[in-house]
Chains A and B, each alone.
Chain A
Amino acid sequence: MLNFLHDRVLDLVSVIRDVIPVAVVVIFFQLGILRRPIPNTKAIVVGFLAVIAGLYFFLIGLETAVFPIGESMAHRFSLPGNKIWALLFAFLMGYTTTIAEPALLAVARKAEELTAGGLKNFALRNAVATGVAIGLTMGVWRIFSGRPLWLYILAGYVITLILTYFAPRQIIPLAYDSGGVTTSTIMVPLVTALGLGLATNIPGRNPLIDGFGLIAFASVFPIISVLSYSIIIEIKKKNLRLRR
């Protein structure tokens, strides 16, 4: 019991240490460089305490729920005959978590504004979610097959660059960003636990070499799907103009 408490206190200390750099940077630049007082000091202090408590609970939640679930699912999926379920799980998880992702929602709204409705909010989110779903499915497939990660990522990079050549220029930065924005706070730990669990349980796989990499798939494939989507929209627009 005492040991348990001791560990929890240590966790709390390390969480505080994790958050302090952000506060130091903000305070230093505000007071030292911009030479402005800090507004709402009280709100900032309370907010800071909430950040520390939140991070602490979040990490405990990951440890007690998300990692065990990911590992037990991975164990199940690695049994003979369950490969198809593993692939389906990866696809569904990738799609559903991404389509509901708040960060993506904000970006998609901005994109609709930017193209004056040319890129529809939902269609863009759909493109990104499909990209993540296909990426994760291929990533799980790779863990079963044991082929090297870099081969797939290299292929992803080459396709990205080829599509970039044909895509409308204003969409390119947005498309490249969509890879990073989509990987959400809770999906990433679950996917990592799933990958490591699969690589631990499938005979002949090494968790370190084969277990990581799913997030990389989930980051590269949305770029491809968003670029493809914008090219399709562009072609449709041209056809419409030609018909007139």
Chain B
Amino acid sequence: MKNFFYLFYKSFLDVAPLVIVILFFQLAVIQEPFINPYKLALGMFLLIFGLFLFMLGLDTGLFPLGESMAFSFAAKGNIWLLLIFAAAIGYSTTIAEPVLIAIAQKAETMTESRITAFALRNTVAIGVALGIVIGVMRILLNHPIHYYFIGGYIAVMTITIFAPREIIGIAYDAGGITTSTVTVPLVTALGIGLASSIGGRNPLIDGFGLIAFASLLPIITVMGYGLIIM
């Protein structure tokens, strides 16, 4: 029951600041009533309610299971199984990521279906899967994270030179879009489980850094997709 209220509070916290800023601008700056206030209010309600249900559902069922699995795989010591599991979790959670679903649809409409929502979401999901696999290997090898990022940033900029201009904005945004509601908690559990099962590591230090890879790799895969289709 405590969980129930906490989740409601969480979804409320997500939405409240936005509503305040929007109302302030509409009333104080634009000084015009909303065109369709009831429809907007209903939509906002559905948004909060939907987010709440979504998080509640994840929290009662899949998250605890997923987290315990992430811990088990990290502790099991079979590197190949761990990497396959990491990739599968990265891919499947990204496909279910609510924001990516909405934005990919927008991108499809805007490009008149030259970019399809289906292909875009799969490309991003493959990027996240790759990113998490690389991130897990980094934790295992105990390499400093920034060496990888120097390489990653150079790769992003190099591909940018060749990529079609229409895809660059979508690709750069893809990194930030992917890592939200579903992906972050499960991936964090994987990282912390991993770091605490390897001897001599501080879970708080080594557990971080997976999300960063999950944000960087989709930029590269989406531009790759753009190169192929355009």
Contacts and interface: CB of A to CB of B under 8 A. Distances in A.
Interface of A: 18-19, 21-26, 28-30, 33-34, 38-40, 43-66, 68-69, 72-73, 76, 85, 89, 92-93, 96-97, 99-103, 110, 113-114, 149-150, 153-154, 157, 160-161, 164, 169-170, 172-174, 176-177, 179-181, 183-190, 192, 196, 207-216, 218-219
B169 A43 contact: no
B127 interface: no
B50 interface: yes
A178 to B, nearest CB: 9
A21 B214 contact: no
Contact of B50 (A25, A61, A114): A61
Ranked nearest first, the 3 interchain pairs of A and B with the lowest CB-CB distance are: A47-B61, A65-B43, A212-B169
Contacts of A45: 61
A26 B157 contact: no
B198 interface: no
Contacts, number: 310
B224 interface: no
A50 B212 contact: no
B215 A179 contact: yes
Contacts of A210: 169
Q: Which of A101, A110, A208 has the most CB of B within 10 A?
A: A208
B184 A103 contact: yes
B39 interface: yes
A149 B30 contact: no
A150 B101 contact: no
Contacts of B44: 61, 65-66
Given A18-B95, A149-B169, A196-B106, A172 B184 contact: no
Contact of A55 (B98, B156, B166, B214): B98
Contacts of B208: 173-174, 176-177
Given A59-B102, A100-B13, A189-B99, A51 B89 contact: no
B169 A47 contact: no
Given A54-B55, A59-B101, A114-B204, A177 B212 contact: yes
Contact of B149 (A161, A181, A215): A161
A65 B40 contact: yes
A25 B92 contact: yes
Contacts of A160: 149, 153
B51 A85 contact: no
Nearest to B46: A61
Contacts of A100: 13-14, 16-17
Contacts of A65: 39-44, 46-47
B51 A58 contact: yes
B149 to A, nearest CB: 7
A171 to B, nearest CB: 9
Nearest to B212: A176
Given A61-B43, A179-B215, A196-B110, A89 B21 contact: yes
A190 B14 CA distance: 13
Contact of B92 (A22, A149, A219): A22
A54 B175 contact: no
B29 A85 contact: yes
Interface in B201-230: 202, 204-206, 208-212, 214-215
A19 to B, nearest CB: 5
Contacts of B169: 149, 208-213, 216
Given A47-B57, A173-B212, A176-B209, A183 B177 contact: yes
Given A97-B17, A177-B208, A58 B60 contact: no
Given A59-B50, A97-B18, A215-B176, A22 B62 contact: yes
Contacts of B72: 34
B2 interface: no
B45 A54 contact: no
B101 A180 contact: no
B113 interface: no
Given A62-B102, A208-B111, A212-B172, A161 B146 contact: yes
A216 B221 CA distance: 15
B79 interface: no
Contacts of B96: 18-19, 21-22, 55
B65 A39 contact: yes
Given A30-B65, A172-B144, 4 more contacts: A26-B62, A29-B69, A46-B57, A58-B54
